[in-house]
Chains A and B, each alone.
Chain A
């Protein structure tokens, strides 16, 4: 690869203050043949092994889900990025993301798969010692053993470190005795391996333990009755004096929360990959239906109201994809960089992902909300049939909803986004205050009236530059005005997070389309250009609205007026015919009769 010509990549959060060149980002049009083939294997698996069985999966037919995980294991899908010496494929992080995307169309199976390969396997892979890895990972990679992850408790959800489950050392010092209760545990019904978080004695922080099914004292409640992903097993798990050998302590005493947090970072970006695949699938059913269903003598896909929906569904999905793989490549590069510096691959993966934790949180929020939007509009396109439990969109609609709740609720992830960015600033890793001050000074200066460039991408970059100023202005002013009380002003935090998310998304789509233009020429990417234009408009509106909401929440007097004017200036966009723009996008998917980007 041409790494030598690359500029230093943006570090986590740096998108707020630095620009990046289109040629330095990864775009999905650059997957290599092997990666495409692996994705196809996952799609084939979904279409041949999962889709025909959806009804039986929904009913949680005894033994079915574990047998499907085993089949996935035979195909090597459970160990994509597990090292070869531990029974995996040793592929990179990016490829595992692509496979996660492909499996995103698999409804309940996606969740079982994600829980097994993600939160189920990764704590042991990344924090286990050599013996623990050798004992568990090959069997988890093959699917012989299935895994679950037990963090949440009835009284400890978002506040995950507050769990009451206890571990006490036995008198002979050979065992921990674990007592407590976990809730909402995915795959619990058939799991062989349980990663359990508990506090040792009176520790303030969690520790993590590896438990196995046959240990005495583990019992399960009945399956939860859920709104969606009904085919996935979700149960309460009780631990009653479970004797766990001391060697089953994972990593170090009191470091469980660190494990939980780092594994969640991975889970969040993986979730973004999965929901993106889900969105693509849903768009395909929606457009297929819209092309077939006739009312008033014409297919409903001929109506502007429906086209507008199809276009917006596709535009948002394309943007999620652009942003997700852009961040994925940044993470991959950072992992490789750390490995070259001598770090062990597992540690490098965790550190690489942690460096981009704000992006992971943003993508989780953005991706899950786009899938909800897409699924909701798909139901609308199906009309009454969308409300029938016999259609797949009805299932998608119900299944989609969980994504805003688990892996940290979207509120928690929004707060984390801002919190992590500000912490990076405080640690000196990210200079937010300097640029924010500059923007504040600019507000008092004379606006730049220079003529816009002839090059559309330059104009878009100029707009993105202003979006950055908008975010910096609001975040800087909020931090200054509210100082320590900012954490309590959650409404403002939500606004800032939304602005950051839209900025990251908009910049990612511009970079992707600009790179595509270099690769294929402008004529070949007419639809993509419309996607970019339409989304830029949407982003400018959201940034403007969230920004003004935030400013109005804490600003006052002249200063508020000045910042409101600044917000207007920073989010200004040249008008264009958005209806025509979206019609072009809609026409492309209507012609292809599927999501086609």
Chain B
């Protein structure tokens, strides 16, 4: 089975978020990047588990500049066999999905996995677009994935329960928490990553279909006042006189 896993970088959750270029771009200065956790902990690890159990190969794909190489090599250290980096600075999800689709078609993959979303932009659309472009079924937010023969069996969380479904390969799946468990890359894997191929590919040249007008941070949190649980009168008084909401 040939598996393709989409990997993108995301700022470490402790990063300070700031914008530049008139608030139209994220300021990467001083930001520590990690592999987007949904891509790494769930999609990549499950792909590697499937490969370990059934044979085949795991390729990662990333759309972006050379500054992505450290996170790509981490994916190789965790156990992917090789990697593709489409060398372009994509500005929207359609561009990313189109570029990945072009390479996915060339590679003839049986299974394409991505994280349910990146933790910075939270668009959660690349997987769906990619499936459409590849003319394959799309199963988002999968919490469990098994493959036997050419059939994938997927479990998804739905409101108040679970849904189990099957689909014929090739299929595109987005991974949510639960599909696998984070793996710490071992030292041997890190060393092996040195000699694995990280293929830099020219972009197909898709244009972006959207343009960012501006980003802004949520308003700063106001002060929090604690009121003794035994004293509801005080709460009512404050809501009435200070907050003026009742």
Contact = CB atoms under 8 A, between A and B. Distances in A.
Interface of A: 33-34, 36-38, 41, 44-45, 48, 74-77, 79-80, 89, 91, 591, 593-594
A80 B73 CA distance: 19
B73 A33 contact: yes
A460 to B, nearest CB: 26
Given A89-B191, A593-B14, A594-B14, A33 B70 contact: yes
Nearest to B187: A76
A51 to B, nearest CB: 13
B190 A37 contact: yes
Nearest to B69: A33
Interface string B184-221: 11111011011000000000000000000000000000
Contacts of B73: 33-34, 37
- Which DSSP category, helix, strand, loop or mixed, fits chain A's interface? helix
Given A593-B14, A594-B14, A34 B186 contact: no
Interface string B75-92: 001000000000000000
Contacts of B188: 76, 89
Interface in B6-20: 14, 16
Given A41-B186, A89-B187, 13 more contacts: A33-B70, A37-B73, A37-B74, A37-B190, A38-B187, A48-B182, A75-B184, A75-B186, A76-B186, A80-B187, A89-B188, A593-B14, A594-B14
A91 B187 CA distance: 10
Interface residues of B, number: 17
A34 B190 contact: yes
Contacts of A91: 187, 191
Candidate in A33, A37, A91, A591 with the most chain B CB atoms within 10 angstroms: A37
A41 B184 contact: yes
Nearest to A79: B187
A289 to B, nearest CB: 16
B184 A34 contact: no
Given A33-B73, A37-B73, A89-B191, A74 B14 contact: no
Contacts of B69: 33
Contacts of A79: 187
Contacts of A89: 187-188, 191
Name the 9 nearest CB pairs between A and B, nearest first: A76-B187, A75-B186, A44-B184, A89-B187, A76-B186, A37-B190, A76-B188, A33-B70, A41-B184
Given A593-B14, A594-B14, A41 B185 contact: yes
Interface in B169-191: 182, 184-188, 190-191
Nearest to B77: A37
A327 B190 CA distance: 26
A38 B77 CA distance: 10
A554 to B, nearest CB: 52
Contacts of B77: 37
Contacts of B193: 34, 37
Contact of A45 (B14, B74, B184): B184
A34 B191 CA distance: 8
B11 to A, nearest CB: 14
A141 to B, nearest CB: 10
Contacts of A33: 69-70, 73
A116 to B, nearest CB: 16
29 contacts: A33-B70, A33-B73, A34-B190, A34-B191, A34-B193, A34-B194, A36-B70, A37-B70, A37-B73, A37-B77, A37-B193, A38-B190, A41-B184, A48-B182, A48-B184, A74-B186, A75-B184, A75-B186, A75-B187, A76-B186, A76-B187, A76-B188, A77-B187, A79-B187, A89-B188, A91-B187, A591-B16, A593-B14, A594-B14
Nearest to A297: B223
Contacts of B194: 34
A33 B73 CA distance: 9
